[in-house]
Structure 1
Amino acid sequence: MPIDVSNTPDMYEIDANGTFTFNAQAGVRNEPNIDTTPIVYYESGESVNYSKKLKNGTWLWLSYESTSGATRYVPYANTETGEYLGTDSNASVQPIVPPTGTGTGTGTGTETGELGSLTGQAGADVADQTPDGTTLTESGQFTFSEPAAGRASTDMDAEHLDSWSVGETVDYNAKIKADGHYWFQYVNTNGSTYYVPYATINPFRYYGTDANPGDPVIPQKDTGTTQTGTPRSHTGVDTVMPTMDSNPVREYIGEGDQYIYPTVGSLTLLSNAWGRAKPVMDPNNKANQIRLYKKNTPINYTGKLFNDNHLWVVLRNGQYLPVSTYDNAKTIHNSTDSKYKSDYGYVSDDTGHFQPIEEYWPFTSEFPHSVGDTKSWESGLSITDIDTTTEVEPTSDELTAMENMSKAIDAAAAPDCVTIAYTTDTHVDSYKTPSTARVLRNMQLMSYYANHFGVDLVVHGGDLNDGVKPKDISKADIKRAMDAIKLSRRPFIVLQGNHDDNSGYARDETHENGDQVITNDEAAPLRLNQFSQWLNVPSTEDEIDGIKTNPNNAVFGRYDVPNSDVTVLVLDGFDMADNPNPNRESFRHGHTDYSPGQQKWLNKTLGEISVDRKIVVFDHIGLSGIGTDWKNHDGWEKLDENNTDAVSYQPGVKASHAIYTSLVNQQNQHHNILGFFAGHTHLDNYATSGGIEFVTSLAAVADRSKFVSATVADGTPFKLGDIEENGWEIIQLNPSNGQVIRHRFGGKTSGISNNPDEYFLSNWQIGKLPQNTGAES
């Protein structure tokens, strides 16, 4: 009789070890597709040792690794006829989602393990482990408490073809999980089959009341092992490729009036100057001269550009005013009365003391950089457009290094192993240097590893972009960087760093212009909204003890790694409100802070996590309280989180110490924090403080990382063009052993590639002294 796979989507896969002995000929294929030509055959009496089972088409398949290392597939049962092609040593485990009974269940998923036994938040918590397209065949009625729209497909972007108002009811015949939502399937009055969403998965909410509760989610055990009882896979689950948003072609921002740098500022003229209709000096074109501005006139401007061998400001009335020749603009010197004003050319007291001319690095134009920041090790290299919507092709050396890394992880993996791909401080700026452009490839390589070798989670530790360009250009770079991460096809989280809100440009190049800051609301669709289905972030309306949990829409939250005993906590060390009119010390990311709501959330969350679970914490910035326990502590006390000199920073320092105290108290009571990972400092470092292992990681961009070792001077850059250019790692967690192993890809000290930075901590266990075991790749 047929095998009931009505609730099992194609390509549904489980981990299952066993031996299958064939009693009929079976063709081996490179993919689980019966229509493809077999490359070899198993004959009757022959056996195969398999590691996975999956359902695709009308067949159940075995998956195994050949002697060449390639993954092969062989069919073992026909679902339409029910015929098995032999005998199975692990026949009790099949890649089939069981059909539901009544579809009611209790919402815990522990009674029957059936599709449809989970409801509400319990189902949403494990929904990312259910493939899109999973269908629960059951009928019922649903009454909407908010308006809803029917579509011809389970796609939120599909055209609205039907509608419901509050209080109206739909009669459905199936439920489907797809596109971050649960959907009803129903027959429209015109006879067509349509779909209407009835719940958002994350943050979870129903759109009304279901007469037959039960959602299309496959229950997951939380024992640290898979459904088969074998060691859990630490290669994660393919999320399918998300929507890509970026454009690889960079907007031209060089000489000419094609692009005007938006910068609000003021200056005083040292000589008479004509306001012109166009930024050209042509003395014979009197029509171009609109108004004469006399010496000592105060000028307010809204933009700058370089053209016709002159630096120009754009006035509020749209006129162009020349303020310096190129040669005089190259040498900017500060006014005597303020370090934040500059004198040069035909002007004094310019509040925008950085000029567009300083954006023309020697790699992008003929002009030398005026502040002497050229890098000879990048000479001859150019900035090119990088398509981050397309998977990168590793070199043979890179691929070999990835294979070796994967083997090292497998060899050290405990049965409950969890893997996290991690990078931080990429400072993407695809306009300034080859390094800040090529770092996109670094991220693509990390995603290649995640996709082809597998990880449970991808984490970016913040400072995704450099934030030193006009807001529109920074947004374009954010999209490029986010798409590079999406190529991983794994759950991902991107932390908030101090550069990510573009306050560097707003503060230093536009005279503290708040309009150039990427606000919390603007940042959400660029970053947070694209991974909120994994990171459970408190909403801006949530409260704890009458205090708003997340009033600033900050990026902090919890992620329970599916089918494991590991909980990831993400903190936002720059949790403060946007300031529409900031001064130099009041930019949102000017210094560290944690809102009272985030502090309460952390304490509440720590209290809710089972003591049997292990915790790993990610934050962009370190915490006040670690002090000088760092292995390399020179200058650490000068950083924001420990700065005792700047009076305005003290509330943030106090909040940071409160976070530190909460984590230390948790560790003292339950001893279940595996580690705290941060970036920000651009160098590898580590400290054991309060019973917790704190580590910082180098910046992943080649021209920003600092190596501090006995053999190489501080500041030696990565070597562009080989593996050392990269700066990412795989964090291997063996929770039952309390063990953390870091496998570094690239980022080694230039010139001594066989020796890692001495401050890179590669291995530790809770309760044991840190140990470096050379886990780098």
Structure 2
Amino acid sequence: MIIPYVLVSQYGLNLDNGSDDMTRKVRSTDFDDQMLDGQPVWQSGQFWPIHLLVSRKSANQGAQRIQSYRRGHLVSYQGKLKSDGRFWLIIIKNGAISYLPVARRAGQLWGMDSNPVWRSPNVNQHPTLMETSKPNYPAIQPATRSFVAAQPLSFRTSANWSALASPTKILTAGEQIVYRKIVSNQQIDYLVTADGYLPYADNRQKHRFGVLLSPTSQSVRFDEATRCYQLNGVFQFTKREVIAYTAPDLAAPVVGQLDKGTIVKYTGKCRTRHRGWLRINFNQQSVYVPFVTLYPHHRHYYGVEITGSKLVTRLTEPWQYTNQTGLVNAHRRQSALKAQSRQLATVLGRIRQPETVVIGLMTDTHFDASQSSTTRQTYTDLRNFRQFAVDNQLDAMIMNGDLIDGNQTLARSILDMGDALNALDTHSQVPLMVSLGNHDDNSGFARYVNGYRTEQVMTTHILQNLRHSIITSESDVHNEFYGHLSLAGKRVHLIVLNAFDIPDEAENGYFKRDFDDQPTGIHWTGILQNIRHSRSRFAQAQVKWLARTLNALGEDQQVLIFSHATIRSDNARQAVTPFWTYDWFVNNQQGDYASLYRTIVDHRRQVIAVMSGHTHVDDWSKQDGINWITTTSDIADRRKTNLVDTKQLGAWDLLAINPSKRELIRLRFGWHDQSGHRSNWRYRLFGDGTNPQRLSLSELSQQLKRQFKPAPRTGNARYYQNQSQQVRQTWRGFKGYFTY
């Protein structure tokens, strides 16, 4: 082995007697960890490995192997690249490009480099704080203080619980009202409105009756687990007779008895320590009957649920998903958040130019104040994201869907949505756009817990009541969840699409089954077609709006498009390849997706990228001249590649766009996904990752049997043409540099 003298002197290696120095990793004196993921640095040199290295067809560990390089073998390279959590040499031989991994972290090379400078050309050597002009967007007036009820509330004539208005006036769940101020009496807070006094919070029980949406809203006060849930259903006592009480307490006065075989309609469910109770109406008053005895590892039901759905034999009790726990290592996590924010601000200062447009992007927080410490701590991530945007004068903020987990009763989900939106509210300092995810309307609760009933779903009207005072007013199309924002003084436009463009339709309290898809004309009969939690759709009205919006752009203007779920290709009739996604969401996407896809491709010269979330992995692809990019979930325990403990930090992006250079630089706060894969049998066996229920061994066994001996397919299933054929699900991991 022959090594030039300059390398011997540079590294101070002793090559006598076999040179044990060759077995150790070599630290570069100019190794910059601020290289941009995915941006090649074209500088040539030579490299000598200290152990066996294998080059690959692309710069990720899951790519095809090309060639092995033994210890001490001379490698001539033409460029360098950071990708998939590693540092790579770009090797060009006979016109073919391969990539050789030479380091896992900054400063630790697996060999000797004749040109040890690893630094992105975009990085400023002497960063300075760029002066950015603050655009003038419609401001929220300080006098506008609004409240959205989480449950039906009666107005009072004064700040007294018993001072009910006559005739009774009620604000229904999800309705919005403007209030003037808050007053307190006997530890109950009341809102002073034009219609009277409305109870807002019971401080004794630490319970809120709704959510404030106002510029003066403070940090959320998380409620303690409540005992009762407003649910409607039918139950039959098939195993025993039961006693009815005036309250969910065996010590309460007895009202009467229900015989074995009695069928009752209930209006709510309550839980005490050892029992579950049904609330029923009897002689114009509420009475309570026990329907289940709760043991530590067993439940004894007194009958069966009659839901009206052939697919559900018993509803899942709502309290199964409300085991509220405190934050783990909260102080340690807050310190990590601050340190990461400072580091990210430093990197942003290095690459920011006067014309750079910087967008903050977060997706899939799945905030739920009642489910677990992990779903609860994303509230801190939202506030940290908001504060970073204000402190660093970002041009806009995007929350790209699944803001909440949507697996609670309607009252809880209204509180969660309001609290999460308040956490993002910058009081018009930074424009905010929010896309609709499949979890945001609470239809997952209806699908998995409430027997396909629509009573606990957040309708379009409720969601708009919660959103309208927080989201930048000019960005939303009226009463729709898609919109366009023109950044003042910038050449970059932002468009948010609604990948779940499904109307609120119900029949007899259940999701409507029949649906005529347009423009395909297919008549669907399955109930899942009308549940946003289970199906992606783009309506024709939205597609026409997008075409008009893109056609109106000037030739020098560029656009960044956001959609919670990505878009189905019009030619392959499946997701963008090799983009990884849930097959049934995109490969079976409905509506006018083909025209939508063609419209975007027709404007490829102006489209910077199409950004999505939903799959909980970092992934990217380039098809038909468009950058398709997915950002992983902020919530830590839902990521598909979460193999280590990453609960201390979330994950969100800064998108730095240089319109003149046509470059998109993506900086990551927190967790980065590396490339990976998942086998189809495992994927299908354990579901789509959105069902919170844990299946028993017998249920898992039945699922496995159905895979090997499937039932005859219906007409609907035959139309799918077996689109879920990706036996091996793969993703490319995080990439930080794109051209367009």
Q: How does 1:661-672 map to 2 (within 5 A)?
A: 661-667=598-604, 671-672=605-606
In the TM superposition, residue 442 of structure 1 has moved relative to its aligned partner by 0.9
Residue type matched to 2:483 in 1?
Answer: G
Alignment RMSD (CA, Å):
3.5
Q: Secondary structure at the match of 1:761?
A: coil
The match for 2:247 is 278
Answering whether residue 393 of structure 2 is matched by residue 454 of structure 1, we say: yes
Is the Cα–Cα contact under 8 Å of residues 579 and 587 in structure 1 kept in the other structure?
no
* Structure 2 residue corresponding to 1:501, chosen from 441, 461, 464: 441
In the TM superposition, residue 403 of structure 1 has moved relative to its aligned partner by 3.3
Mark the runs of 5 or more structure 1 residues left unpaired by the alignment: 1-66, 73-94, 96-125, 134-152, 159-240, 333-343, 365-379, 385-391, 540-552, 644-651, 708-714, 767-777
The match for 1:292 is 257
| Structure with higher RCO (Cα < 8 A, 6+ apart) | 2
Is the Cα–Cα contact under 8 Å of residues 496 and 563 in structure 2 kept in the other structure?
yes
Answering whether residue 474 of structure 2 is matched by residue 531 of structure 1, we say: no
Q: How does 1:608-619 map to 2 (within 5 A)?
A: 608-619=552-563
Residue type matched to 1:319 in 2?
Answer: V
Q: Closer, same or farther in 2 for the Cα pair 1:274/1:486, shift >3 Å?
A: same
Answering whether residue 594 of structure 2 is matched by residue 657 of structure 1, we say: yes
Partner Cα distance (1:157, 1:682) in 2: 36
* Structure 2 residue corresponding to 1:554, chosen from 462, 480, 489: 480
The match for 2:587 is 642
Is the Cα–Cα contact under 8 Å of residues 268 and 279 in structure 2 kept in the other structure?
yes
Partner Cα distance (1:570, 1:132) in 2: 21
Partner Cα distance (2:127, 2:622) in 1: 44
* Structure 1 residue corresponding to 2:349, chosen from 399, 410, 425: 410
Residue type matched to 2:617 in 1?
Answer: L
Partner Cα distance (1:463, 1:561) in 2: 25
The match for 1:359 is 321
The match for 2:735 is 761
* Structure 2 residue corresponding to 1:325, chosen from 258, 281, 293: 293
The match for 2:639 is 705
Q: Closer, same or farther in 2 for the Cα pair 1:304/1:246, shift >3 Å?
A: farther
Partner Cα distance (2:329, 2:294) in 1: 24
Q: Closer, same or farther in 2 for the Cα pair 1:383/1:516, shift >3 Å?
A: farther
Residue type matched to 1:662 in 2?
Answer: T
Is the Cα–Cα contact under 8 Å of residues 567 and 576 in structure 2 kept in the other structure?
no
In the TM superposition, residue 745 of structure 1 has moved relative to its aligned partner by 0.4
Is the Cα–Cα contact under 8 Å of residues 273 and 293 in structure 1 kept in the other structure?
yes
In the TM superposition, residue 529 of structure 1 has moved relative to its aligned partner by 4.0
Q: How does 1:501-520 map to 2 (within 5 A)?
A: 501-520=441-460
Q: Closer, same or farther in 2 for the Cα pair 1:698/1:718, shift >3 Å?
A: farther
In the TM superposition, residue 631 of structure 1 has moved relative to its aligned partner by 4.3
The match for 2:383 is 444
Is the Cα–Cα contact under 8 Å of residues 641 and 656 in structure 1 kept in the other structure?
no
Is the Cα–Cα contact under 8 Å of residues 703 and 717 in structure 1 kept in the other structure?
no
In the TM superposition, residue 749 of structure 1 has moved relative to its aligned partner by 5.8
Q: Secondary structure at the match of 1:313?
A: strand
Q: Closer, same or farther in 2 for the Cα pair 1:250/1:487, shift >3 Å?
A: same
* Structure 2 residue corresponding to 1:716, chosen from 639, 643, 647: 643
* Structure 1 residue corresponding to 2:564, chosen from 586, 611, 620: 620
Is the Cα–Cα contact under 8 Å of residues 500 and 536 in structure 2 kept in the other structure?
yes
Partner Cα distance (2:541, 2:287) in 1: 48
Q: Secondary structure at the match of 2:614?
A: strand
Is the Cα–Cα contact under 8 Å of residues 431 and 472 in structure 2 kept in the other structure?
no
Is the Cα–Cα contact under 8 Å of residues 497 and 561 in structure 2 kept in the other structure?
yes
Partner Cα distance (2:643, 2:279) in 1: 40
Partner Cα distance (2:401, 2:346) in 1: 29
Is the Cα–Cα contact under 8 Å of residues 632 and 673 in structure 2 kept in the other structure?
no
In the TM superposition, residue 132 of structure 1 has moved relative to its aligned partner by 7.4
In the TM superposition, residue 469 of structure 1 has moved relative to its aligned partner by 1.3
Residue type matched to 1:582 in 2?
Answer: Y
In the TM superposition, residue 131 of structure 1 has moved relative to its aligned partner by 9.7
Residue type matched to 2:232 in 1?
Answer: V
In the TM superposition, residue 454 of structure 1 has moved relative to its aligned partner by 2.2
Partner Cα distance (2:471, 2:255) in 1: 52
The match for 2:537 is 593
The match for 1:11 is none
Deviation string for 1:142-198 (max 9, x for gaps)?
Answer: xxxxxxxxxxx995679xxxxxxxxxxxxxxxxxxxxxxxxxxxxxxxxxxxxxxxx
In the TM superposition, residue 440 of structure 1 has moved relative to its aligned partner by 0.8
Is the Cα–Cα contact under 8 Å of residues 394 and 445 in structure 1 kept in the other structure?
no
Partner Cα distance (2:302, 2:144) in 1: 57
Residue type matched to 2:445 in 1?
Answer: Y
Residue type matched to 1:268 in 2?
Answer: Q
Residue type matched to 2:451 in 1?
Answer: H
Partner Cα distance (2:145, 2:374) in 1: 37
Q: Closer, same or farther in 2 for the Cα pair 1:606/1:628, shift >3 Å?
A: closer
In the TM superposition, residue 607 of structure 1 has moved relative to its aligned partner by 0.8
* Structure 1 residue corresponding to 2:404, chosen from 462, 465, 470: 465
Q: Secondary structure at the match of 2:346?
A: helix
Residue type matched to 1:431 in 2?
Answer: S
Q: How does 1:729-768 map to 2 (within 5 A)?
A: 729-748=653-672, 759-766=733-740
Residue type matched to 2:608 in 1?
Answer: L
The match for 1:213 is none
Q: Closer, same or farther in 2 for the Cα pair 1:718/1:419, shift >3 Å?
A: farther
Partner Cα distance (2:332, 2:389) in 1: 14
In the TM superposition, residue 637 of structure 1 has moved relative to its aligned partner by 5.7
Is the Cα–Cα contact under 8 Å of residues 281 and 308 in structure 1 kept in the other structure?
no
In the TM superposition, residue 405 of structure 1 has moved relative to its aligned partner by 2.2
% identity of equivalent residues:
22
The match for 2:619 is 685
The match for 1:565 is 491
Is the Cα–Cα contact under 8 Å of residues 718 and 748 in structure 1 kept in the other structure?
no
In the TM superposition, residue 251 of structure 1 has moved relative to its aligned partner by 2.8
Answering whether residue 191 of structure 2 is matched by residue 264 of structure 1, we say: no
Residue type matched to 2:557 in 1?
Answer: R
User: TM-score, length-normalised on structure 2?
Assistant: 0.57
Q: Closer, same or farther in 2 for the Cα pair 1:688/1:452, shift >3 Å?
A: same
Is the Cα–Cα contact under 8 Å of residues 631 and 685 in structure 1 kept in the other structure?
no
The match for 2:503 is 577
Deviation string for 1:65-112 (max 9, x for gaps)?
Answer: xx999999xxxxxxxxxxxxxxxxxxxxxx9xxxxxxxxxxxxxxxxx
* Structure 1 residue corresponding to 2:224, chosen from 252, 257, 261: 252
Partner Cα distance (1:718, 1:441) in 2: 18
The match for 1:374 is none
Answering whether residue 132 of structure 2 is matched by residue 129 of structure 1, we say: no
Deviation string for 1:95-141 (max 9, x for gaps)?
Answer: 9xxxxxxxxxxxxxxxxxxxxxxxxxxxxxx99527979xxxxxxxx
Q: Secondary structure at the match of 1:454?
A: coil
User: TM-score, length-normalised on structure 1?
Assistant: 0.55
